[in-house]
Amino acid sequence: MQTETTLDTYEDLLQAIVANDGGREISDPATGEVVGRAPEHTTADLDAAVDAARAAQPAWAALGHEERSAFLNRAADAVERSAEALARLLSREQGKPLNGPNARFEVGACAAWLRATASFELRPEVLVDDGESRAELHYRPLGVVGAIGPWNWPMMISVWQLAPALRMGNAVVVKPSEYTPLSVLALAAVINQELPAGVLSVVSGGRGVGERLAAHPGIDKVMFTGSTATGKAIIRSSADTVKRLTLELGGNDAGIVLPDADPAAIAEGLFWGAFINTGQTCAALKRLYVHEDIYDAVCDALVGFAGQMPMGVGLEEQNVLGPLQNKAQFDIVADLVQAAKDSGARVLLGGEPEAGQPGYFYPTTLVADIDNDNPLVAREQFGPALPIIKYSSVEEAITMANGLDVGLGASVWSSDPAKAREVAARIEAGTVWINKHGAVDPRVPFGGAKASGYGLEFGVEGLKGLGAPQVISY
């Protein structure tokens, strides 16, 4: 193990990860208060981390699946011991509240994903066994995996990347978002209490570090969650070294409410599908298509539910919605809502940030009577503003839902399961949920269609994506 120091308290975590000299100041997006200083690693630091990973990886791979799974389970224990400290740090750095499907939920998901990944069985697949010949498909470790994560779910998505990579016998070098490096540094410090040295490291640096990681000859695969534009840049940077890639890119998820749905019954699911993490989720519901027969009833039900959800500073226990994580994202949401208002769309709730308050708070916003080509619909807002579009026929709704070049997730809402499945099968998205939205499961593969990326995460298929397939034939 890398350290004998316990990291069970918030103060212990900060002491372990915050730069004493230099570094970059990280502020709480809810209050503007300084959380700590993140170390500013360089490309030389990245090179050293990759060298250490390459040195440690063969012995890690040699342990085998069972022993590596035992390490992951002990890492989950460590996360649970430090859960409250991790959640508090996450809330302060990212802005999400402690309660609701937010900071405590995210830390709990980290432990759950580690355990689930440790539990999956990956056995050789017998391809041919006809008495004369036998062929088996095996998966071998790739070597060193580079993981580049986002700022919206920094701990959980890092675990989505590092857990299967480690389980498959790879070493991992993580490059967190510049907005939320402390959360990922803290998570790695906790996990590294249980792992051999060099197997997992975090390099907290700027854009140049990310570009170097994508092109680094010592990195065998890159996993990335983030925007489509950055994903395209990673594809280009990785080309010369023919890296394997798993890319979970931007989404603008559609939800279709069929005319037989019960507005009151689906309001809560629609709300959390759209506003989980204050709308800052790649696979959140970002444009809602509602049949004209129940349009007003769905709008009313959503306003009634959304108006009860408290927004505020994350460390205040009553809140379940928080600020936008950064000023750039706040401006995107504000500009898109303003464009909708300027076009004549009807604001049902929110739409006006409170002047003079600290933090990047944008109120929960519902916008009705909006055209499908309005920027708030056509562009990914990634924040607490949901456009609600009226449709007349299911064919029209499917056409609009499929009309963009992204397809991460989608949902269909109906009282008729058979009809819902029929519509779901026609939507161009990696995952289509029925009467829920965004409910990921560590056992169920997850990935995007079209410009929302390629490759699968989670489950046995996710493990395979972190291995090199090898056929042994005899």
Active site residues: 248, 282
Alpha-carbon distance 351 to 347, whole Å? 7
Alpha-carbon distance 410 to 318, whole Å? 30
Tokens of 228: 């489509």
Q: Are 406 and 448 in contact (CB under 8 A)?
A: yes
Residue 360, number of CB atoms within 10 A of its CB: 24
Give residue 154's identity as a one-letter amino acid code.
P
Beta-ladder partners of 146: 173, 222
Q: Are 330 and 360 in contact (CB under 8 A)?
A: yes
Q: Are 156 and 149 in contact (CB under 8 A)?
A: no
Tokens of 406: 């992204």
Q: What angle do CA 439, 440, 445 make, to 5 degrees?
A: 140
Tokens of 159: 């675990």
Alpha-carbon distance 89 to 103, whole Å? 9
The dihedral built from the CA positions of residue 370, 298, 281 and 226, taken in this order, carries a sign that is: negative
- Crossing angle between the packed helical segments 207-215 and 228-238, to the nearest 10 degrees: 50
Q: What angle do CA 216, 220, 226 make, to 5 degrees?
A: 75
What does the CA dihedral 4, 98, 247, 42 come to, rounded to 10 degrees? -50
Q: Are 171 and 144 in contact (CB under 8 A)?
A: yes
Alpha-carbon distance 371 to 345, whole Å? 8
Tokens of 91: 């809330």
Instruction: Report how far Cα 300 is from the mean position of its chain's Cα atoms.
Output: 30
Tokens of 253: 């998820």
SS (H, E, C) 76-131: HHHHHHCHHHHHHHHHHHHCCCCCCCCHHHHHHHHHHHHHHHHHCCCCCEEEEECC
The dihedral built from the CA positions of residue 370, 371, 372 and 373, taken in this order, carries a sign that is: negative
Could you tell me which of 308, 293, 299 has the C-alpha nearest to residue 388? 299
